[in-house]
Chain A
Amino acid sequence: DTGVSQDPRHKITKRGQNVTFRCDPISEHNRLYWYRQTLGQGPEFLTYFQNEAQLEKSRLLSDRFSAERPKGSFSTLEIQRTEQGDSAMYLCASSLTGASPLHFGNGTRLTVT
């Protein structure tokens, strides 16, 4: 069990640029989740996948955000035309089923200048 891996750990970008983050879940986990955490707050659910199917999206996920999990393994989260309000920690998590414990990665911290 190597845990959930996220890359990069930190990303600084200028407003208006596109960014993409990667998440590698625990290998046998079917479910993969993206959360966003702003400073001083708890994580907020963004979206989740069961295998390669994206089954739920939060209303927080504006049309500038897109997530994929093409082969049911790793996932990418892309933010287009970044805004300063996108600055946050983006956390990926995985679980074996919807009822089993959620394992979080250490996140990608995005700073939009």
Chain B
Amino acid sequence: GQQLNQSPQSMFIQEGEDVSMNCTSSSIFNTWLWYKQDPGEGPVLLIALYKAGELTSNGRLTAQFGITRKDSFLNISASIPSDVGIYFCAGPPTSYNAGNMLTFGGGTRLMVKP
């Protein structure tokens, strides 16, 4: 099946710094989703990307759908303590109309030092 590889696995940064993380796949995705999960809670959708090359922002977050359709990037500008959490990329299989039967990456754990 399709697999998503996220890097880095974890990041420890200073408050105010910008953050960049990525997600790669050996196969094509038609949709890329970025979720954030706080401890003890379910994932929450941050950004959805539907078109190769698309660049979408949500506040301090910006995500891009790679031209090859095999990767995506998430950037967080001017990080704050509440950005702490695990960030997951996800997407539905392209083999058929898979809707929300998502494949998730392993996550990037972000820690922010005040």
Contacts and interface: CB of A to CB of B under 8 A. Distances in A.
Interface of A: 4, 31, 33, 40-45, 48, 56, 91, 93, 95, 97-99, 101-107
A44 B45 CA distance: 16
Given A31-B99, A98-B99, A99-B99, A42 B44 contact: no
A107 B44 CA distance: 13
Contacts of B105: 42
Contacts of A56: 101
Contacts, number: 55
B59 interface: no
Interface of chain B: mostly helix, strand, loop or mixed:
loop
Contacts of B82: none
A95 B104 contact: no
Nearest to B97: A98
Given A91-B42, A106-B41, A107-B42, A42 B90 contact: yes
Contacts of B42: 4, 91, 93, 104-107
A33 B101 contact: yes
Contact of A42 (B40, B45, B88, B99): B88
A48 B100 CA distance: 9
A105 B41 CA distance: 7
Contacts of A44: 104
Contacts of B48: 101
A41 B43 CA distance: 12
